[in-house]
């Protein structure tokens, strides 16, 4: 039986794409290879958001050259945001069989089919729609776990789960953030029709998913390119109807685009979790302007206030870039103060990294690397203290946890506010909602016991 191996790094959309690739290959009759060297089909699904991610991609690709030499009939595909100019890449990497643009899962599967490696009689078990058991499948981790390339992240601490499923709602992005290569590689906004997304949500629910995470580089832009136009709130209402789904999240939001209707939908729809991913990037207006972000720090503060007023207890997570060109100590302090004041539930912080072809490439990268690292660590330390305090306030309280799996004999899952909780419990909790009383809290996870 032919074998495949999918290597994946990067954002949640990449993780969702990698999963669809794996499912597609399984449906064609391939099975997962225990090791990359044994695979007949190798897919590298890549990220180049920062230099550190890009270095990992080229390192991985180079390491496959001898593998391909030993096994010349293996099919090797490079997919994702590393694929900018396929022609130039083909000249540079002649041992790669296909270059596939980000999210083009169908293109990848077509290329595999054309390679002639697929088994003659695809080993499909029943059709997509019927005959599937309503029991949960075993957790299928991606061939390689997908840690974020920098910083500590609770998402990296546990394996991916079939209980929570990312579904892409909108591809691409029309913003012009000057540091960002993602929009250059992924192109402009293209929304999927509501009916398609609802159908995929139904199918994943039938296979055991209990949470749907609606994905977009700027998910708030959802639907404005559709005819007739729709918006993210319409989509939330539609997915809310899907039987078997207990929870809905959406990410990532853009502070210039998150609409009052969406905030109201979070308030009004019981399945939609009180959780916003709202990257601010900087707390300094000069830096925000040079970044091409479309809001001021004051407008961001007002938006957070509006969310907290409408949805008390909402968790708000953010992204920060430190050391952007021209970020003075004073400008950095404006970011630091904003973080102290807002007290986010999670902060993903990264040092600025010049990306080829972006407008910011023309600005002098004038914050020295050790100063960028100092600022990055200052944000990390501050956030560790803040989130430690936020989490400690939960000790003694009962929270609702959607159970995603087991690790080292303990069950784990998340609160509606996206906090990772571990607990011990007899019986099968996978995919169920547990009421858990918190007994211990650290910055990255909580521990508790099930209440009857």
Binding site for ligand F3S (CB under 6 A): 173, 175, 177, 180, 182-183, 217-218, 254
Binding ligand SAH (rule: CB under 6 A), the pick from 285, 299, 319, 365 is 319
Binding ligand SAH (rule: CB under 6 A), the pick from 10, 160, 208, 279 is 279
- Residue 353 or 417: the one with the smaller Cβ distance to ligand SAH is 353
- Residue 248 or 321: the one with the smaller Cβ distance to ligand SAH is 321
| Residue 50 partner contact from ligand F3S, ligand SAH, none using kind-dependent CB cut-offs of 5 to 8 Å | ligand SAH
State the number of CA atoms in the 13 A half-sphere of 423 facing the CB: 29
| Residue 183 partner contact from ligand F3S, ligand SAH, none using kind-dependent CB cut-offs of 5 to 8 Å | ligand F3S
Residue 191 CB contacts under 8 Å (≥ 6 apart), including other chains: 169, 170, 171, 221, 222, 223, 224, 225, 226, 230
Measured between alpha carbons, how far is 226 from 330 in angstroms, rounded to an integer? 43
Binding ligand SAH (rule: CB under 6 A), the pick from 180, 263, 288, 339 is 180
- Residue 142 or 219: the one with the smaller Cβ distance to ligand SAH is 219
Instruction: State residue 384 phi and psi, 5-degree precision.
Output: -60, -40
- Residue 47 or 434: the one with the smaller Cβ distance to ligand SAH is 47
11 binds ligand SAH (CB under 6 A): yes
Look at strands 433-441 and 398-407 and give their pairing: antiparallel
Structure tokens at 372: 């960028």
Measured between alpha carbons, how far is 405 from 79 in angstroms, rounded to an integer? 29
218 binds ligand SAH (CB under 6 A): yes
Q: Taking the complex as a whole, how short is the minimal distance between the CB of residue 183 and ligand F3S, in angstroms?
A: 4
Residue 9 CB contacts under 8 Å (≥ 6 apart), including other chains: 45, 46, 47, 53, 56, 57, 146, 147, 149
Residue 292: left if φ>0, alpha if ψ -120 to 50, beta else—which one? Answer: left
- Residue 162 or 279: the one with the smaller Cβ distance to ligand SAH is 279
Q: Taking the complex as a whole, how short is the minimal distance between the CB of residue 262 and ligand F3S, in angstroms?
A: 16
- Residue 359 or 425: the one with the smaller Cβ distance to ligand SAH is 359
Q: Taking the complex as a whole, how short is the minimal distance between the CB of residue 181 and ligand SAH, in angstroms?
A: 7
Q: Taking the complex as a whole, how short is the minimal distance between the CB of residue 78 and ligand SAH, in angstroms?
A: 20
Q: Taking the complex as a whole, how short is the minimal distance between the CB of residue 119 and ligand SAH, in angstroms?
A: 36
Binding ligand SAH (rule: CB under 6 A), the pick from 16, 42, 49, 170 is 49
| Residue 321 partner contact from ligand SAH, ligand F3S, none using kind-dependent CB cut-offs of 5 to 8 Å | ligand SAH
Q: Taking the complex as a whole, how short is the minimal distance between the CB of residue 356 and ligand F3S, in angstroms?
A: 15
Measured between alpha carbons, how far is 439 from 435 in angstroms, rounded to an integer? 13
142 binds ligand SAH (CB under 6 A): no
318 binds ligand SAH (CB under 6 A): no
Residues 344-363 contacting ligand SAH, CB under 6 A: 350, 352-353, 355
Q: How far is CA 439 from the centre of its chain?
A: 29
Q: Taking the complex as a whole, how short is the minimal distance between the CB of residue 377 and ligand SAH, in angstroms?
A: 15
Residues 383-402 contacting ligand SAH, CB under 6 A: none
- Residue 47 or 142: the one with the smaller Cβ distance to ligand SAH is 47
Binding ligand SAH (rule: CB under 6 A), the pick from 45, 143, 204, 281 is 281
Dihedral, CA of residue 362, residue 366, residue 370 and residue 376, to nearest 10: -70
Query: Which stretch, 82-90, 128-136, 179-187, 430-438, contacts ligand SAH (CB under 6 A)?
Result: 179-187
179 binds ligand SAH (CB under 6 A): yes
316 binds ligand SAH (CB under 6 A): no
| Residue 11 partner contact from ligand SAH, ligand F3S, none using kind-dependent CB cut-offs of 5 to 8 Å | ligand SAH
- Cβ–Cβ under 8 Å, residues 223 and 230: yes
10 binds ligand SAH (CB under 6 A): no
14 binds ligand SAH (CB under 6 A): no
- Cβ–Cβ under 8 Å, residues 286 and 330: no
- Residue 53 or 447: the one with the smaller Cβ distance to ligand SAH is 53
Residues found near ligand SAH in the complex (CB under 6 A): 11, 49-50, 179-180, 182, 217-218, 252, 279, 281, 319, 321, 350, 352-353, 355
């Amino acid at each position: 039986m032919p074998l495949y191996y999918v290597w994946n790094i990067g954002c949640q959309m990449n993780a969702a794409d990698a999963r669809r690739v794996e499912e597609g290959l399984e449906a064609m009759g391939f099975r997962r290879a225990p090791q990359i060297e044994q695979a007949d089909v190798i897919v590298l699904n890549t990220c180049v958001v920062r230099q550190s991610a890009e270095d990992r991609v080229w390192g991985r690709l180079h390491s496959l050259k001898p593998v391909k030499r030993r096994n010349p009939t293996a099919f090797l595909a490079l997919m994702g945001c590393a694929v900018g100019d396929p022609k130039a890449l083909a000249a540079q990497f002649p041992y790669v069989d296909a270059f596939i643009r980000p999210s083009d899962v169908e293109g990848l599967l077509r290329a595999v089919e054309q390679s002639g490696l697929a088994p003659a009689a695809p080993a499909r078990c029943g059709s997509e729609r019927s005959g599937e058991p309503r029991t949960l499948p075993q957790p299928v981790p991606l061939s390689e776990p997908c840690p974020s390339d920098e910083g500590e992240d609770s998402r990296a601490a546990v394996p991916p789960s079939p209980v929570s499923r990312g579904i892409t709602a909108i591809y691409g992005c029309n913003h012009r953030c000057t540091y960002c290569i993602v929009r250059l590689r992924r192109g402009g906004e293209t929304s999927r029709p509501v009916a398609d997304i609802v159908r995929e949500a139904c199918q994943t629910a039938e296979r055991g998913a209990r949470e749907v995470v609606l994905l977009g580089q700027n998910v708030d832009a959802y639907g404005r390119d559709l005819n007739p136009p729709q918006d993210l709130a319409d989509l939330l209402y539609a997915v809310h109807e899907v039987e078997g789904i207990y929870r809905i999240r959406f990410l990532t939001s853009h502070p210039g685009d998150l609409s009052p209707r969406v905030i109201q939908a979070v308030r009004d729809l019981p399945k939609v979790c009180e959780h916003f991913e709202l990257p601010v990037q900087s707390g300094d207006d000069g830096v925000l302007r040079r970044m091409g972000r479309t809001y001021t720090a004051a407008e961001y503060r007002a938006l957070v206030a509006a969310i907290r007023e409408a949805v008390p207890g909402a968790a708000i997570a953010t992204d920060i870039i430190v050391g952007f060109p021209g970020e003075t100590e004073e400008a950095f302090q404006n970011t630091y103060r904003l973080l102290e004041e807002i007290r986010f539930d999670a902060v993903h912080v990264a040092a600025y990294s010049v990306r080829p072809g972006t407008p910011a490439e023309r600005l002098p990268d004038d914050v020295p690397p050790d100063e960028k690292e100092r600022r990055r660590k200052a944000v990390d330390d501050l956030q560790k203290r803040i989130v430690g305090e936020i989490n400690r306030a939960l000790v003694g309280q009962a929270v609702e946890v959607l159970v995603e799996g087991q690790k080292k004999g303990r069950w784990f899952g998340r609160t509606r506010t996206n906090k990772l909780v571990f607990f011990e419990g007899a019986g099968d909790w996978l995919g169920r909602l547990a009421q858990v009383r918190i007994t211990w809290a650290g910055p990255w996870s909580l521990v508790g016991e099930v209440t009857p």
